[in-house]
Structure 1
Amino acid sequence: MNDQELLARKIVNIRESNNMSQLELAKKANIERTALNKIEKGTRKVSSDELKRIALALHQSTDSLLNISNANPSSSANFSDADLDKMLDNAHSYDGKPMTDHDREIIKSYLKGYFQGKE
């Protein structure tokens, strides 16, 4: 699988894990839905500007979408759902209120995507 196909798969996986339709992502990223469809199929290259807008809409970094890491591979971390739940049990949202289940799932999804890119 080439880099373009890997990026396409990652965008789809993150979008779907956030229960977001292709149309919703296209609107949030200000990209034509047909263009996003081709990007997700791996049949069209994504411009750097589009990648940035997709990353922002998915609450990801462009580095994580591209699986770029400056970290030492030996320091990569693998966290199970149980590990992430333990971390989130002690966390609060920015305004000090406990996180909702929805917030927890979004954060877990982000962390999983982040650490998968470091493997």
Structure 2
Amino acid sequence: MTQFSDKLKLERESKGWSKTKLAKYIGVGLSTYANWEYGVSEPDIETIKKICRALGISADTLLQLSVSSSSSDDLDDVLDDVRSFDGKPFDDHDRELIRVILKRIYSTK
């Protein structure tokens, strides 16, 4: 399975729908839909839009495009790579302020 297929199955199941119901709702055959959940193939962009509308989710959610704020290790890695802004170097205090700001931004998304 792929990340997409896992997310698709999770979102469908959270809505309480069968594969058959979602396939019919978006206008594709059951075998076509099942292949997406099994990771054999993936839908085109227009079909992804239909799936998102049917499930009441964004494409970002389905495709897992949003930046995750759950890992402070990832945030630390990013901040380690950012050493300055506008030619002025960051100190530890600056990095901590940036960390706090980014956590607030991503916790509200």
What TM-score does the superposition give when structure 1 sets the normalisation length?
0.56
- For 1:75-118, what per-residue CA distance to the aligned partner results, in whole angstroms no more than 9, with x for missing partners? 3228xxxxxxxxxxxxxxxxxxxxxxxxxxxxxxxxxxxx6xxx
What's the RMSD between the two structures over aligned residues?
2.5
Q: Which amino acid aligns with 1:69?
A: S
Which letter does structure 2 place at the counterpart of 1:67? Q
Mapped to 2, the partners of 1:77 and 1:24 lie a distance apart of 34
* Higher RCO (CA-CA < 8 Å; seq separation 6+): 1
Aligned length: 76
Q: Does 1:27 align with 2:44?
A: no
Which structure has the larger Rg? 2
Query: Does the residue aligned with 1:76 lie in a helix, a strand or coil?
Result: helix
- Alignment partner, residue 38 of structure 1: 35
Q: Give 5+ residue unaligned stretches, structure 2.
A: 70-101
Give the alignment's TM-score, normalised by structure 2: 0.60
Q: Provide the rounded CA distance (Å) in 1 between the counterparts of 2:16 and 2:5.
A: 17
Of 54, 59, 72 in structure 2, the residue corresponding to residue 57 of structure 1 is 54
Letter in 1 for 2:52: A
CA contact (8 A) 1:55 1:62 kept: yes
CA distance in 1, matches of 2:56, 2:46: 15
